[in-house]
Structure 1
Amino acid sequence: MPSYQLRGIVPDTRIQAIGQLFKSMQDSTWTVSIQFRPTQNKRTLTLSQGPILYRKSLLNSTTEQKQGGWEQDFSIEDTSDWEERQIKDCPIMGCRNRWDGDQFCFVFPIEGQKTVYLPEFELARALFFHDGYLARTSLTSNALNLEFDIQTDEDSNSALVNVLPSSGYTLRHLNDPRSRETLAWILLDHDARTAFESIGNAQLLQGRNRGTNRVWDFRFSPPPLPGASFGVRGQFDKQTGTLFVYKIDKIQNVQANVPTNIIFEHPDFKHPVRPDGPGESPIPIRPQGSLEIDDDTSPNVNTLTTIINSANMSIDFSNPFTTTKRTSKTKITPYGKPGEGRPVNGNFIVSTDEAVAGEELASADWNNLNDDSHNGHLFDNKFSVFMRLIQTLTQRHGCRLLGKNVYPLPPIARCTKHLLANGDPRCIAVAYISAHNYFVRLLEVDTSDAATSLSTQLVRASHPTRWPRDLEQITSQLVKRSLSWPTDLLKSLYGRDGHQGIPHPQTPSNNKGILTAESISSWAERVAGWIKRVY
């Protein structure tokens, strides 16, 4: 993941407060007033940066960002009894005189006789603003109806989402299962869609014309979220029992009243076909250095979008559903799937605003969803036999499952193994396990399309803060090596004895790549034996 810098923001800048939204009457671009520390000339960011706009966020950091604030997990019955107040009403000392005191909060009690003040902009960011498109579109009346045609079939419990040619939602986001699922929830869940569209409606009703500008204090009507659980950070005052929320880290157990099978169609969806000879294909840039984001300029509409992964938010649905792409066209490309990205070294200037014709900068957009969003059901479905291995380890070999996640393999230039044969993303499952004071991770790659035979990889558990970087390197090398474990890299990360490939049980030759239920017990014995050997 390339680092990113916001042009015009000094290094190590904190967002202290988030204030009023405004735009010129002659323009469609909404801007957010922000109080930065240290004080500087730039005092605003466009709403396109909504996915990273939360209080105490550190921008242009020169060191590893340390999350600030009191951590609190809580669950709610629903949002029906939430009250609406302004930040200046919060009883915590200093809130009355805050720079953003006129902005609105939801106020509600939680267990432990605590009262939560949750800024409405932060809840909307956590629920909806996972990329710049969704942040901008929330203030555009009737935008979803104009850009997506939806057909549902109650008999088959399915839906077809036709992304219209006029839609500004990028192919790069539609290729990402996390982004597709969030978009599907917003489009198809009645409560989620009503809440999303209430943002634009509130602006039309409550916004004010001031000189040549339209100004508005952010407000919306939240979805019910029955039984949802939150993980937040903020300022907690013991004397008043009040928690003022800076940031929502996660929302879990979100009910999604949507069909179980959702198909996306787009006129530019194409199934990649490798050519016999050389050729050219328009593919986006994958910077190897730092991205510099110009917040004051629009990008060119004819450039392909670079995705900036900020990974600061996790949302998990209580009822699993699947989203797939329907691909009816083929395209010959030497780089596999369009949109994989060509690497470029050095700093690269991009814009995350809405793309228009005639501009010079390349287009970029955010994805602030963590990789563990939505993917629990994928683990159990795609890796069901692998899950049986883990269950055997916990039941018979004294192991404990500490965590499990599924991640799509990254697209790499001139490589196609990040995709299954049907064009869906190829995933890797990671199980974090402890056994007799030993901690390891088991890695399993989806080879259900019989692309190759790949062993289960066992690695000594690295520190949690280092693991995301380890995983990025491992998965990139997996794709580059056409689904072969990068043994030299694993040796450099974990030492000569800190990793081990463990072959799968023997399977019939006509079922290559598909694990069977037989031999699970002996497979688990071999894994348990190797856990001690990697230490």
Structure 2
Amino acid sequence: MKQVDRFKKLPDNARIQAMGNLFKYSDRLTWDIGVRIENSTRQALKFSQLPYLSRQVVLNQTTAAIPPGFPLEFTLPDNALWQMATVKDCGLVKFKAGDEQSQNCFMFESEDKTIYLPQLELARALFFTNNYFANAALVNNALDFEFDVEHNPSSDDEEFPLDVLINALPTTNCPKVLFDNEGFRYLLAWILLDSDVKDSFESIYRNFSQELIKTDRFERWTFRFDPPQLKGVKIAARGWKSPDENIWFINRIEALENLSFPDIADIGYFHPNFTENKPSSSKGTGGTYPQLPTQREIDEESDGSSDNESALIFCDATLINFNNSPRTRKVYAKAKAKSGGKEDEEKPSTLSPEVSTDDSNSRGDIPRATVDGLDDQADNANLYLNKFDSFFKMLEILEKEHCVKQSKPVVRKLPEIGRSKSHLMTDWSPRCMAIVRIEHQGEGYLLLEVDTSDGRASIATKVISARALQPIGLLRDFIPEIERRLLSNQFSWPKKYFDELVGEGNHKSVSHQQSMKDGQLNNSEVSRWAIRFKLVL
């Protein structure tokens, strides 16, 4: 993957050769971490930039680059079988300068291989996929001061009752833009709701405060933490291997699969800066995050200013998959009118090309940015079936009264396309599309129904002739392109594309039945919708 963000004072194609200790000079407020970079005299970056930093990763790429090393997949054994070690003990890392050889590792056996996993790299993959958690990890009880967890909160949302409400307190430094990412919402809930995971996160500060070495000029610490129980978690990584492939050293974790998530169904998130937008009649494009110009520079030294809403920037993603995927949504305390689909319209959509990854402080002189390096792989679209309640009731009437046969529906979460927010509901839960095949009088039809129950947009049901589609392939082969065009086309069906795909007369759009209440139909309205649908067939 080619990184689009640049580190201001690093050369092109700067490869990280080694990672060292955390340290801070006495006259500074923020922490640095030792790094050694090929073709550069620089020996440190900010700890808040950790989402980007792993051994052999290439920064400031001018061409797409795969980090040196070999791919490896393995399953973690019970933590009780892990041993403490250092980089030096492995013998596979040749770089000797700085503090590289003394960095802490976990060592364990997996599938007849001895694996050395740097503790900092495991913590990065688990927690530090964004700079907010990197900054919070070095503050005593930061999460307790910034979040309050409310179990079984009162809720007037019958379709989406909450089991847990996570409140970001007014004291929080957590940028609200992170909550737009469902993966971050899972990660935050995982840390706050699983006591073993939360203790692991807090162990970073415990070890930091107990082992910190102080001198007159600076403070330093060799990273160490207590991992949560990870037995059975599958890891995909890259690293070095011995000639007989029996010993491995992990440079970077690329994916974690089967992390244990608490058995909770519905989670809400409140941030004091959330502002709900009331739907308007205009289509808009769904709005944008506060973003930077295409050419972005991360200042390795500057602190963040408090004068801007955090911009969202991206680094190479770590894929995370949990064994349980609850529904999540944002919860609002107030609403304001909107136009054209943009949230917080008074906020600028572009900022200075130079940014800091640190939290804001009195010394900050450039805009702060929020790094997002997490790709959630949860397959939980089935959890949102109830959003299509009126649509499925209409199909039931067609089945019972008009001899229409229907298949089991498939529900997909719409993908993120560019900077549009159309793939998200106004509560920031995923917007989904239901796909159903029906048969009537010997003819088959494929129905595409997009969830518009939030009233943010209006789009008719797409009806496609199965007979016309059959000669060229299966619908699933064309769905990604249909979704891309749908979300890139101001949230409307791509008519010309369907004309080319199946022919102008072989697809139709059936408008939704008007309702007295946005997104919900009563029984008589559903019946009228079924009759109109039958006439189209």
TM bucket by the smaller chain?
0.7 to 0.9
Which residue identity is paired with 1:23?
A: K
TM-score (norm 2): 0.75
Compared CA separation, residues 114 and 325, structure 1 to 2 (3 A) = same
Per the alignment, residue 428 of structure 2 pairs with 424
Structure whose alpha-carbon radius of gyration is higher? 2
Per the alignment, residue 192 of structure 2 pairs with 187
TM-score (norm 1): 0.75
Instruction: Tell me the CA shift for residue 510 of structure 1.
Output: 5.9
Q: 8 Å contact 1:234–1:243 — kept in the other structure?
A: yes
Which segments of 5 or more consecutive residues in structure 2 lack a partner in the other structure?
155-160, 393-409, 436-446, 521-525, 527-537
Deviations 1:362-418 (A, max 9, x none): 221111012xx1420135645999xx9xxxxxxxxxxxx9xx875346654xxx745
Structure 2 CA distance for aligned equivalents of residues 485 and 170 of structure 1: 34
Which residue identity is paired with 1:145?
A: D
Deviations 1:138-188 (A, max 9, x none): 111111111111222499982221111110001100222111111111111
Which residue identity is paired with 1:452?
A: I
**Does residue 366 in structure 1 map to residue 366 in structure 2?**
no
Structure 1 CA distance for aligned equivalents of residues 214 and 506 of structure 2: 66
Q: 8 Å contact 2:254–2:318 — kept in the other structure?
A: yes
Structure 1 CA distance for aligned equivalents of residues 503 and 197 of structure 2: 44
Q: Mapping of 1:442-453 within 5 angstroms?
A: 446-449=451-454, 451-453=458-460
Per the alignment, residue 60 of structure 1 pairs with 60
Deviations 1:455-489 (A, max 9, x none): 4899999xxxxx9xx98x975x645633124578x
Give the SS at the match of 1:101: helix
Per the alignment, residue 36 of structure 1 pairs with 37
Deviations 1:302-348 (A, max 9, x none): 20111112242011110222222211201234454535875559x81
Compared CA separation, residues 61 and 136, structure 1 to 2 (3 A) = same
Q: Mapping of 1:91-490 within 5 angstroms?
A: 91-92=91-92, 94=94, 100-111=100-111, 113-153=112-152, 158-239=163-244, 241-257=246-262, 259-273=264-278, 285-334=290-339, 336-338=341-343, 343-344=349-350, 348-357=353-362, 359-370=364-375, 373-378=376-381, 381-382=384-385, 407-408=415-416, 411-412=419-420, 417-420=422-425, 422-427=426-431, 446-449=451-454, 451-453=458-460, 455=462, 475=484, 478-479=486-487, 481-485=489-493
Structure 1 CA distance for aligned equivalents of residues 449 and 312 of structure 2: 26
Per the alignment, residue 8 of structure 1 pairs with 9
Size of the aligned set, in residue pairs, is 469
- Kindly report the root-mean-square deviation, in angstroms, between the aligned alpha carbons of the 2 structures: 4.3
Compared CA separation, residues 322 and 284, structure 1 to 2 (3 A) = closer
Per the alignment, residue 437 of structure 1 pairs with none
Structure 2 CA distance for aligned equivalents of residues 120 and 500 of structure 1: 59
Q: 8 Å contact 2:280–2:340 — kept in the other structure?
A: no
Structure 2 CA distance for aligned equivalents of residues 304 and 237 of structure 1: 48
Q: 8 Å contact 1:375–1:406 — kept in the other structure?
A: no
Q: 8 Å contact 1:444–1:456 — kept in the other structure?
A: no
Structure 1 CA distance for aligned equivalents of residues 505 and 367 of structure 2: 42
Structure 2 CA distance for aligned equivalents of residues 67 and 479 of structure 1: 33
Deviations 1:106-147 (A, max 9, x none): 000011x21000000000000000111101111111111111
Give me the identity figure in percent. Answer: 27
Compared CA separation, residues 294 and 262, structure 1 to 2 (3 A) = same
Instruction: Tell me the CA shift for residue 235 of structure 1.
Output: 0.7
Structure 2 CA distance for aligned equivalents of residues 34 and 215 of structure 1: 14
**Does residue 79 in structure 1 map to residue 79 in structure 2?**
yes
Per the alignment, residue 398 of structure 1 pairs with none
Deviations 1:415-460 (A, max 9, x none): x74543x5334536799xxxxxxxxxx9985445572125489999
Which residue identity is paired with 2:85?
A: R
Structure 1 CA distance for aligned equivalents of residues 448 and 70 of structure 2: 33
Compared CA separation, residues 233 and 273, structure 1 to 2 (3 A) = same
Structure 2 CA distance for aligned equivalents of residues 130 and 382 of structure 1: 30
Compared CA separation, residues 378 and 125, structure 1 to 2 (3 A) = same
Which residue identity is paired with 2:129?
A: H
Instruction: Tell me the CA shift for residue 256 of structure 1.
Output: 1.4
